[in-house]
Amino acid sequence: LKVVLMWSPPAMFTAVGRFRDAGPRKQQLRSVQGTGPVPAQCPPAPSSLGRRGLAICSLLGGFTQRAAPSRAKQMRSTKEVERLKLEDGSEVVKLASGVQYVDLRTGGGEVPQMGDMVLAHVKGYLMEKDDPVFINTYDDGAPLIFYLGTMPQGVTPGLEEALATMKLGSIRAVQVPSYMGYPNGLARAGVKFPLRLPIPLKEGLRYEVELLRCVQAPVENGADQAQRLCCSDAQYPCKVPSKMRLDVISDGT
């Protein structure tokens, strides 16, 4: 199975918080070679999904983790204060919190509800010269798996606000002001997977985030009814080879 993940770099932000065209810089398409998805509990250990572009997630019976009502209300009630039309027809949306985003692709899925489990690929940049990357789940080979509204490692309050209105399958470029990211910075001693770099004090952040879409994993391949097969919008509905057994794959090999 050869899976090609296609995505584009976000438009760049100017110092005054508006998008400008990224110019000639392009992101090379990534090809992910493999024989199929890898089963994992949710949320999984960092290495439990393998380098596939497809993922199997087992929903644990009776295990639920909901966002606190106050947190969920805050995320959903953030109001748009401005929309700026770009030359390519896309729109920059600015929220009252100072978070800004533009949709690079609108997915075919629904907007997840607070407390729903989501799988998200995230690539994050520090707003410095050369755009240092502090998180990249594409290169890690495994998306973040978490319950919307519960901020796992690598997800900031500003990114959560942008996720709260995304349709499954969408790709969104997000700019987060420092006070909605890591306002106190992050020392090297506090850097834990999937983060890669310490974060300076009062540092603005930029993200590319993709929400994956999930379907019932095929029973004919050995999956049980609690398993979901997840992939990008371009790959949906997440096909796997008919001979692949999903009940015998236990690691990334």
Mean of the pLDDT values across residues 61-79?
50
Q: Do 20 and 13 touch, CB atoms closer than 8 A?
A: yes
Bridge partners, residue 172, by sequence:
103, 209
- 63 or 77, which is more confident: 77
Span of 50-64, 89-103, 163-177, 186-200 with lowest mean pLDDT:
50-64
- The pLDDT-based confidence of 100 (bands split at 50, 70, 90) is very high
pLDDT for 20 equals: 35
Q: Please choose, from the candidates 118, 115, 107, 140, the residue with its C-alpha nearest in 3D space to the C-alpha of residue 42.
A: 118
Q: How far apart are CA 31 and CA 5, in angstroms?
A: 6
This prediction has a pTM of 0.73
pLDDT tens digits, one per residue of 102-135: 999 999 999 998 888 899 999 999 999 889 999 9
pLDDT for 80 equals: 86
Span of 11-20, 129-138, 197-206, 231-240 with lowest mean pLDDT:
11-20
Look at residue 164 and tell me whether its pLDDT is greater than 50: yes
Q: How far apart are CA 85 and CA 168, in angstroms?
A: 23
Number of helical (H) and strand (E) elements in the chain, helices listed first: 3, 15
Please name the amino acid found at residue 21: D
- 223 or 199, which is more confident: 199
Name the most confidently modeled range: 21-30, 99-108, 113-122, 144-153: 99-108
Look at residue 47 and tell me whether its pLDDT is greater than 50: no
